[in-house]
């Protein structure tokens, strides 16, 4: 029997609850499909700050690098909000992405037919549904540029800088073109080339590479327009490629139009099969520890891990289908429940998904 070593980064807020849900689902699907898992937890974020004073202990980095893949919950919370930037919980997330070389962030956002009524957009706008794959650059740009404080023209001043090298743009664009090739051969590259130099280089390189992919229809869109188009006509998008910061913002917008931010999984990938899988939502401190969180984004992240890291297609599909079934049957956690319907708890939703595997 195959056995995969999975590092668990539970993190903060609802992180522990949703990771534990996904672990239960993985164990259950593993029994069915004869796949073994060894789970090893490591500290990250606020939990690591509380235990050892820093958000990303070396032990955690080493542990992740020696795992076959990593599942993460979320980091951050009000308790650590006033710490300086370089010791904040969020810094750990950037640190682990960089340490593992995870330059690609895949964030699929699709409208489940069962959740059409939860979508805040008008029915005619989403009549055809949507199924978007956001390919977000994850280890460059303004997130990782030079930053600091200085005396400026008006006194005290802070600055952050965005830099993108040809190499960084080429490798993320390549992932996007290959992804488009496996889907509907439609790629939109999102930038701010009317203002930013990094975007102009980005656009130039994407155009150069488009020549290598004549089978893929490739277009550009300015990010402000993209933000508008996403709510005006989301079905025009298939694969989207964009920078770290634009991808962060647009993926939250995309998640909202699926009905709930609690639905979106993600895969962060590099040059090896060792990736990091996490929901795109945050630690939701307001509902932490209450067994209320929607575990679906994390459970779907585990399904992405089975597919991308381990090529376990059948097991991955079983999870995706089980999620489809619970939604089609009208089962909802609090974020999705409406009209006085009694919502399922995190554990109940997890149980229902496991029953349908």
Interface residues with Mn ion (CB under 5 A)?
248
Distance CA 341, CA 335 (A): 11
Least spacing, CB of residue 249 vs ligand IPM, in Å: 9
Pick 94 or 320: Cβ nearer ligand IPM: 94
Residue 312 site contact among ligand IPM, Mn ion, none (CB < 5 to 8 Å, cut-off depends on kind): none
CB 111 within 8 A of CB 126: yes
* Binds ligand IPM (CB under 6 A): choice among 68, 248, 312, 335: 248
Rama region for 50: left / alpha / beta (φ>0; ψ in -120 to 50; rest)? alpha
Q: Is residue 44 within the footprint of ligand IPM (CB under 6 A)?
A: no
93 near ligand IPM (CB under 6 A): yes
Dihedral angle over CA of 282, 283, 284, 288, nearest 10: 160
Alpha-carbon distance values, 85 to 88, 151, 341 (Å): 5, 19, 41
Residue 280 interacts with ligand IPM (CB under 6 A)?
yes
- Cβ atoms of 67 and 9 closer than 8 Å: no
Using CA atoms, how far residue 318 sits from 40, 71, 308, in Å, is 24, 18, 15
Q: How far is the CB of 305 from ligand IPM (least distance, A)?
A: 16
How far apart are the C-alpha atoms of 216 and 11, rounded to whole Å?
39
Nearer to ligand IPM, 28 or 60 (CB): 60
Minimum distance of ligand IPM from residue 211's CB (angstroms): 31
**Least CB distance to ligand IPM at residue 280 (A):** 5
Position 90 contacts ligand IPM (CB under 6 A): yes
Closer CB to ligand IPM, 94 or 210, in the complex: 94
Question: Taking CB positions, which residue lies at the least distance from Mn ion?
Answer: 248
Contact between 253 and ligand IPM (CB under 6 A)? no
264: closest CA among 235, 290, 287, 295? Answer: 295
Q: Which of 301, 188, 184 is nearest to 246 (CA)?
A: 188
Six-digit token string for 116? 């059409």
Asked if 137 is part of the footprint of ligand IPM (rule: CB under 6 A), the reply reads no
One character per residue 166-205, x = contact with ligand IPM (rule: CB under 6 A): ----------------------------------------
Asked if 91 is an active-site residue, the reply is: no
Kindly report the backbone phi and psi dihedral angles of residue 56, in degrees, each rounded to the nearest multiple of 5, phi listed first: -135, 85
Residue 213 is a catalytic residue: no
Q: How many CB atoms lie within 10 A of CB 208?
A: 13
Residues that bind ligand IPM (CB under 6 A): 90, 93-94, 248, 280
Q: Which residues are catalytic?
A: 143, 192, 224, 248, 252
């Amino acid at each position: 029997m195959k056995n995969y070593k999975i590092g668990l980064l539970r993190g903060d807020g609802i992180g522990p609850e949703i990771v534990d849900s996904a672990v239960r689902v993985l164990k259950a699907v593993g029994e069915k499909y004869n796949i073994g898992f060894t789970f090893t937890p490591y500290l990250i974020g606020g939990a690591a700050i509380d235990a050892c004073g820093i958000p990303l202990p070396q032990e955690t980095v080493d542990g992740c690098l020696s795992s076959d893949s990593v599942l993460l919950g979320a980091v951050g919370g009000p308790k650590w909000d006033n710490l300086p930037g370089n010791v904040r919980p969020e810094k750990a997330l950037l640190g682990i992405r960089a340490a593992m070389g995870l330059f690609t962030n895949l964030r699929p956002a699709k409208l489940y037919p069962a959740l059409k009524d939860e979508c805040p957009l008008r029915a005619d706008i989403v009549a055809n549904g949507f199924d978007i794959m956001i390919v977000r650059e994850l280890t460059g740009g303004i997130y990782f540029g030079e930053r600091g404080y200085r005396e400026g023209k008006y006194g005290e001043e802070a600055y952050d800088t965005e830099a993108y090298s040809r190499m960084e743009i080429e490798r993320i664009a390549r992932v996007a073109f290959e992804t488009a090739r496996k889907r509907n051969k439609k790629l939109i590259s999102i930038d701010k080339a009317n203002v930013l130099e990094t975007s102009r280089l980005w656009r130039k390189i994407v155009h150069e590479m488009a020549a290598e992919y004549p089978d893929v229809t490739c277009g550009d869109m300015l990010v402000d327009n993209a933000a508008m188009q996403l709510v005006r006509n989301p079905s025009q998008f298939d694969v989207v490629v964009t920078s770290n910061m634009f991808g962060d913002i647009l993926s939250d917008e995309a998640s909202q139009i699926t009905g709930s931010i609690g639905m979106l999984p993600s895969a962060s990938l590099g040059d090896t099969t060792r990736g990091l899988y996490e929901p795109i939502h945050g630690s939701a401190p307001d509902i932490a520890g209450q067994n209320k969180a929607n575990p679906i984004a994390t459970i779907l992240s585990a399904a992405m891990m089975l597919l991308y890291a381990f090529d376990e297609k059948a097991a991955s599909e079983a999870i995706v289908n089980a999620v489809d079934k619970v939604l089609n049957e009208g089962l909802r956690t609090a974020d999705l429940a409406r009209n006085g319907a009694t919502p399922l708890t995190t554990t109940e939703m997890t149980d229902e998904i496991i029953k349908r595997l």
